[in-house]
Structures are given as structure tokens and as C-alpha cells.
Amino acid sequence: MATPPTMKDVALAANVSVMTVSRAFKAGSTVAAAKRALIRQVADDLGYVFDSTASNLRLQRTGFVAVIIPSLNNANFADTVGALSAGLAADDLHVLLAYSNYDIAVEESLIAQLLRRRPEAIVLTGGQHTPGARRLLERAQIPVIETWDLPAHPIGHVVGFSNEATMEAMVDHLTSLGLSRLGFIGGDAAFDTRGSDRRRGFLAALAARGLPAHRLISGGQPPVKMAHGAVAMADLLQQFPDTEAVVCVSDLAAFGALSECQRRGVRVPQDIRIAGFGAFDIAQVCVPTLTTIDPACAEIGRRTAALIVSILRGDAPPAVPVTEAIIPHLRIGGSTVQPPR
Amino acid sequence: MATPPTMKDVALAANVSVMTVSRAFKAGSTVAAAKRALIRQVADDLGYVFDSTASNLRLQRTGFVAVIIPSLNNANFADTVGALSAGLAADDLHVLLAYSNYDIAVEESLIAQLLRRRPEAIVLTGGQHTPGARRLLERAQIPVIETWDLPAHPIGHVVGFSNEATMEAMVDHLTSLGLSRLGFIGGDAAFDTRGSDRRRGFLAALAARGLPAHRLISGGQPPVKMAHGAVAMADLLQQFPDTEAVVCVSDLAAFGALSECQRRGVRVPQDIRIAGFGAFDIAQVCVPTLTTIDPACAEIGRRTAALIVSILRGDAPPAVPVTEAIIPHLRIGGSTVQPPR
DNA sequence: ACTTCAATTGTTAACGATAACATAACCAAG
DNA sequence: CTTGGTTATGTTATCGTTAACAATTGAAGT
């Protein structure tokens, strides 16, 4: 057959009306059991596949939830999206995923594209957007959820945490070890807003303690990869050899830094301490394990999914925009504190 | 406004017909320049957003390419999907992504769901599918591309490589170093077909050389993570302490194995050699760097995108199913050969 | 002024599924 | 054998956009 069979073809073959075929495929509708079985059999024989594009148009509902993440290739965002998809699946909502490559201009164009697909909700990573993007989102008649951040001026709902605030606990940990010469790797670019939020938080924490805050090494444009962390560590060791501990924008950079230390015979944590961010798998496998901050990626996804479901399908959707604060957790590893043996 | 504005609203406001509005948004159609500008202005003022669900139905074309990967959280597949998306974007094709969690039963149900969305092509990872999945795909009137494998009986097009065959080069490398007591970590489960293909290839390569092939350690169910690699290495060192080299199903497992060696003071490569698969970032950052096989993930994505574009939008689509063989490359690292200093 | 042709705009009928309404079939009770 | 009330099925119109065709306009050529 040239064109795929439609309900009409099935109806013809089963000798019923199109409407009956439609009902036969919908649970809870009144069709004689025998007829329903017949219709499904006929449909299967014909190779009929339900056409959701038609249904979407008629019902004015697509079942799509648009999601924009900075990068596909990042275990943290993957965990969030995984939990999000899982949480939406039960309510027949499907993630329409796009990635911005850490560029809010790209994000804006993705938003414009995605909205044409008529998603029922849209999930963003981060709280910083172009004015154009804000405008599009404010006019879109769908729930907007910003994640992975606590924006000062949210567009709609929020499920996230303050990247800046996480650094307080980290610096607290390091200073409680009696350390005062602290460095930071990563987060310089105007692009990586979450990374520079962390750096800002780091600097604020140092300032609050009256500690020097000049040991900063760029990790280059995001995504900051392992190899960049290694290069940055080499820079740090050369420029500021007296550094006692370095906080990295992510565990990937931190592992790169650790590897550079290994290559140079610099002992971690004896000679220098290293901390990361994100609680990536590698943090608990590498030697020593990395001190890091667990931002509860999956929890963000779960809570976002639950929020969306309650808004779209729930009987009591929230009247005002919701902000759900996630509490990241400091996880101490061998890269800052030598385990007792 | 309760319902979002449609072309009709724009037409009314701009005092033209709906069709003229439609033309005003379509490049290359005959609308007076001034009128086109006016319509676009009016549309913008109203907050009009093009509704692709209606367009998709009318045109019988969605611009979707369905893609199923085993896991979101895997840099290899992420690289493939990234390159694929990029290659499709120019032709206004968008990836509709789903992940099977390494389960072909899940894959079948995803295929059924995705086909309802009327994708213009569908891309699968791997060449093993349930009979139900094959049936769905054979009847779907769209191009099917299997990737990351060279199936014996392809459903349609193929862009991939033989996981089994890659192991020949790896074993060749190890035996050329004079090693003969080789082990393998991972790939036991019936699920992870690519992993067990690699193990089969490993065993075949040993058999061809008359080498003993009993040093096999399960990595558990896929995805085999770093931590599993560490546990497996501990098993291997205990069960087969005379092992000279171990090939792991992925770099992640290999890094876990390497980390276990570090913890135990087993020197790599002096005491034991470790190899991985996938050319993940970590392979070239860790100390020592990992010997691995680069399956050219991005190349798979690029070639798949090019194939799809040529089929869907090209003037000379291939008459018969195409099989594009990708050539994976052995990359030797410090985990099998100590670098000269 | 009168064709002729191109450029521009309008009208109609789909695309495939489904809510809403209308009708037909059925069964039990009186 | 009616009547009343379910249950099962059919009919119509619609979601928003667009191809195909029809109609109108305007400018150039004679």
C-alpha cells in the first residue's frame, strides 16, 4: 500500500464506522467486546498504526514536555532527564529533548522551535535567559519550569538549588580542616552561568572569612572537560604553588586536576586537596575518592515530573508559581581528608 | 486570551485571508513584501505561534526522526546522537529521543509508541530486536537505520561496525606484547548484546591463537559502571592471579578496574595490563591512559544523518538498503604499554 | 483602450482522529 | 406487547494548516 492505513481503512475492513474504530482503541469506551476484538484484529492485519498527529490536533494536546539541557553528554543532566522521563511516562507525557550547548542564544531559538510543536509544558536548565526567550515563555500558555538554579526572577515554576550557596558548605569544609589558601578552577566564561554562580559563591565564602581570593584558574569555555581540568591544575601549581586546596567547577575538572597531580607526583590530599561538584560516578571510584557536592540530579527530575503532572493532569494545580528548593549535600571523599586506616 | 491565537486570528487582524498568512510565513511564496511584513508584525503582536501539529497532519510529514539508544547516560551514545542531531538540523529534522535501558522488550514498546508520532525515519542502536519489533519496523513505511552494529540480517539500512571484530585488533595488540594469559570483564548478560558480541570476539581471537579462554568475569547487568569494573577486577585478581592483561567491555569498567589496582598497589601496566572500549574522555586523562578502541561515535551519527537526509530529502535516494561500515581504531595507551621516558 | 501574462490574493477541500449529538438496538419490567 | 432505560453504533462538525484551483489585480505591449 502506498499510504499507511487509517482508521477509515480499518472501519471499512471491519464493516463498522470510523467512530467505532476510534472507540475500540480507547479504553473505557462502550464497544461490544466481540466487535472490539474484531476491530483490533483487523487493524493488526492491516498494519494500522494510530496517528497521533491527527489526535493531537483534534484534542489540542500533544503529550509532549519540552526539555532543554545544556549538553546531552553530561551525566548530571542525563540523570535529571532520566528521572523526569520516568516520572512523566505514567501519564503518557513524553520528553521532547533539545540541548543548547551552554548558549542562551541557542536556547532562545530552541524554545521558539519547540513551542511550535505545542508541548504541554517546558522545562529549562538554569535561570538565565535572553529577553527574547523570556518573552516567548511568558506568552506561551503552558507551565514553565526552571531547574538547576534558583533564579531571582523566575518565569514560572522552579525546581532547583542555589549553585552559589553550595560553595559555602564546601569552603566551610575546607577551612574547618585548617586550610586557608584556596583556589578555584573553572566557571569564568559568561556562558556557563551555573559554573560562574559557583565561583561567585566560592569567592563570597572566602570574603566572609577574610581569606585571599586570587587563586582562580579558568577552565575555558564550557563544557569544562577532564582534560581542561588537568591543564588548569598545571597552571595552578605553577602560578600558585602554595595552594592548599582547589575547588573545581565539576567532578570532571576535578578528576583532570587529580590526574595531573598523579602525573607530577603531587600527593592528594597530603600536598594539595581537591574538591569537585556533581557527584559523578567517577568521584567515588577514583583514588582517592573526590570530595564533591551531590546536587540530587534525579531528585530534580522526579520533583519536576511530579509538578508537571499535578499541573497538567492533577485535580488541584497550584494557584501560584511554585518554587521547590532542592538541598545539595556535601560528600566528603579522600581527596580532601585522608581516610583513617 | 483563553486559547492561543491561530492563523485565523492573525488573518482577521491583518485583514487578509488565512491562506495569505500561511504564505507570509513560508519562504519562497508569493506575497507582497509590504503585506508579508505587516502580517508578521501583526502575528508577533498577537503572540502567534505556528502550530506544527496542524501542519504535520496536513503535510503528512512531521520532521521527526525517532532515535532509540540504550541509555541517555553514556558518552558514546550521546556523541552519536549529538552528531546525528546536528546533521539533521539543517534539513529541519528533529530527533525524538527515547532510551531502552538496554532491554529489547522495552525497545519494542518504544518503537510502537514512537511510530504513532509518525517519524520520518527511525534509528536504532544495535542489531538485535524482538520479533515484534522487527514486524513493526518492517511494516512501517519509513527508513530504518540500525547503528552500532553490523547485523547479520538487517531490517533496513545500517551504519555501524562489528563489535566482535574489534576484539581481534585488541587481542593482536596484547599478544604482540608477548602476553598470553588474558582475561575479560563484562558482557555476560543476555541483555547487553554489544558487550557480549565483544566478549565473543575476544574468545574467538583467543581460540584462533590457541590461548586459554577461561578468565572471564561478569560485569553484571548493563550498564556496566565504573564501580562494577572495580569489583570485577577484585574478583579477577583473586580468581586468576596470574592474569597478564584484562580487556574490559568499556572504558568505564576499565577505569574501575584500574582504580582497584591503584587501591591494591597493583602496578599498571607492569603487573597487569588493562584495556577498555569506547575512547571515553577518561581514557586519555587517567594515569596511565587507557588502551582502548575508538568506535568513532560521532562519525556514526554524522553518516546516519547524511543517509537519512539523502533518503528523505535527496534527489537520488538509494534503491537498496545501504550498509555503511565504520572502522573502529585501536588507541594504545599507557595501561598496556609503558611509555618511553 | 484592449489583450496578455505574471503577480497576488481568495476559496474550497482535505489531512486523520474524536467530542458531541443523534439514532438504533436491546433487555427487563409491567 | 408496550414502555423506559441502557448500551451500542452512526453522523456531523471540528482541530489549524496548506495544496490545488479560481479569481482578481496591475503593468506592459500593441
Please state whether the peptide bond connecting residue B317 to the residue before it is cis, i.e. omega within 30 degrees of 0: no
Q: Note whether A339 contacts B: Cβ–Cβ < 8 A.
A: no
Output the nine-digit C-alpha cell for A143: 507551565
pLDDT tens digits along A80-127: 999 999 999 999 999 999 999 999 999 999 999 999 999 999 999 999
Question: How open is the CA angle A296-B297-B236, to the nearest 5 degrees?
Answer: 70
Give residue B341's pLDDT: 64
Give the distance from residue B272's alpha carbon to the nearest chain A alpha carbon, in angstroms. 18
Cβ contacts of B326 within 8 Å, gap of 6 or more: B159, B160, B161, B295, B296, B299, B300, B303
Q: Which residue in B50, B285, B335, B341 has the most chain A C-beta atoms within 10 A of its own C-beta, making it the best mutation to test that interface?
A: B285
Q: Which residues contact A127 (CB under 8 A, 6 or more apart)?
A: A146, A149, A150, A151, A152, A154, A158, A160, A193
CB contact under 8 A, A78 and B72: yes
For A213, B271, B301, the CA distances from A169, given in Å and listed in that order, are 17, 41, 41
Distance CA A205, CA A168 (A): 5
Q: Which of B57, B227, B281 sits opposite A54 (nearest CB)?
A: B57
Exposed, middle or buried, A54 (CB in 10 Å: 0-12/13-18/19+)?
middle
C-alpha cell at B275: 584495556
> Which among B296, B292, B286, B305 is positioned nearest to B325, based on CA atoms?
B296
Using the beta-carbon criterion (under 8 Å), do B227 and A263 form an inter-chain contact?
A: no
pLDDT > 90: what percent of chain A?
A: 88
Q: In A, residues 45-84, which contact B (CB 8 Å cutoff)?
A: 47, 49-54, 56-57, 60, 62, 72-73, 75, 78-79, 81-82
Q: What residues of chain A lie within 8 A of the CB of B96, using their CB?
A: 96
Residue A339 has pLDDT above 90, yes or no: no
| pLDDT single digits (tens) A177-196 | 999 999 999 977 667 788 99
CA angle in degrees (0–180, nearest 5) for A69-A144-B51: 90
Contacts of A41 (CB under 8 A, 6+ apart): none
Summarize the confidence of residues A319-329 as an average pLDDT. 95
Of B53, B78, B230, the CB nearest to A56: B53
Residue partners of B77: CB distance under 8 A and separation at least 6: B69, B70, B71, B125, B297
Nucleotides of C under 7 A from a protein CB: 7-12, 14-20
Q: Do B259 and A285 touch (CB under 8 A)?
A: yes
Secondary structure (DSSP) of B53-112? HHHHHHHT---EEEEEES-SS-HHHHHHHHHHHHHHHTTT-EEEEEE-TT-HHHHHHHHH
Q: Residues near B198 by Cβ (< 8 Å), separated by ≥ 6?
A: B163, B164, B166, B167, B186, B187, B249, B277
pLDDT value of position B204: 97
Q: With a CB-CB cutoff of 8 Å, which residues 140-179 of chain B face chain A?
A: 140-141
What residue type is assigned to position B285 of the chain? V
User: End-to-end CA distance of chain A, in Å?
Assistant: 73
List B residues 294-323 in contact with A (Cβ-Cβ < 8 A): none
By the 8 A CB rule, do A219 and A188 touch?
yes
Instruction: DSSP for A174-214, please give it.
Output: HHHTT---EEEES--SSS-HHHHHHHHHHHHHHHHTT----
Give A135's DSSP letter: H
- What SS3 class is residue B248? strand
Which residue pairs from B42-47 have beta carbons closer than 8 angstroms and sit at least 24 positions apart in sequence?
Answer: B42/B10, B42/B13, B42/B14, B43/B5, B43/B10, B43/B14, B45/B13, B46/B5, B46/B9, B46/B10, B46/B13, B47/A139, B47/B4, B47/B5
Mutate to test the interface with A, among B68, B84, B117 (most CBs of A within 10 A): B117
User: Looking at this protein, which amino acid is placed at residue B341?
Assistant: R
DSSP state of A335: T
B22 Cβ within 7 A of any nucleic strand D atom: yes
For A281, nearest residue in chain B (alpha carbons) = B226
What amino acid is encoded at B23 in this protein?
R
Distance from CA of B69 to the nearest CA of A (A): 13
Inspect the interface and report whether the beta carbons of A281 and B75 lie closer than 8 Å: no
| Binned average pLDDT, 10 residues per bin, chain B of 341 residues | 87 93 87 89 95 97 97 96 97 96 95 98 96 96 96 97 96 97 86 87 97 91 92 96 97 98 96 98 97 98 97 84 96 92 64
Alpha helices, DSSP H, located in chain A: 7-14, 18-24, 33-46, 52-59, 75-89, 104-116, 131-139, 163-176, 193-208, 226-239, 251-264, 297-312
Span B126-179, pLDDT tens digits: 999 999 999 999 999 999 999 999 999 999 999 999 999 999 999 999 999 999
Considering only CA atoms, name the residue closest to the C1' of nucleotide D8: A31
d(CA B95, CA A327): 33
B/e letters for B308-325, b = 16+ CB within 10 Å, e = fewer, are bbbbbeeeeeeeeebebe
Angstrom distance, B99 CA to C4 C1': 61
Q: Does the nearest atom of strand D lie within 7 Å of B50's Cβ?
A: yes
Residue A207: other Cβ atoms inside 10 A = 11
State the pLDDT at residue A157: 98
CA angle A173, A178, A179 (to 5 degrees): 80
Mean pLDDT of A329-339: 95
Cβ contacts (< 8 Å) between A140 and chain B: which residues? 49
Chain B residues whose CB is inside 8 A of the A113 CB are: 94
Q: Which of A57, A75, A256 sits opposite B54 (nearest CB)?
A: A57
User: Per the CB < 8 Å rule, is A226 touching B53?
Assistant: no
Q: How far apart are the first and last CA of chain B?
A: 73
Task: Identify the residue among A9, A48, A52, A67 best suited for mutation to test binding to B, counting B beta carbons within 10 A and taking the highest.
Answer: A52
Dihedrals φ, ψ of B286, to 5°? -70, 165
Phi and psi at residue A100, in whole multiples of 5°? -95, -5
- Asked if the Cβ of residue A207 lies within 7 A of any atom of strand D, the reply is no
Average pLDDT over residues A190-208: 90
The span from the CA of B92 to the CA of B83, in Å, is 15
- B284–A255 C-beta distance less than 8 A: no
Strand-pair category, A329-331 with A292-294? antiparallel
Return d(Cα A175, Cα A134) in angstroms, integer. Answer: 40
Q: Is A234 exposed, middle or buried (0-12, 13-18, 19+ CB in 10 A)?
A: middle
pLDDT (mean) for A241-251: 97
Strands B329-331 and B292-294: antiparallel
Q: In chain A, positions 102-121, which contact chain B (CB-CB < 8 Å)?
A: 113, 115-118
Q: Which among B78, B98, B259 is the nearest to A73, CB-wise?
A: B78
Q: Which residue is nearest to nucleotide D13 (CA to C1')?
A: A58
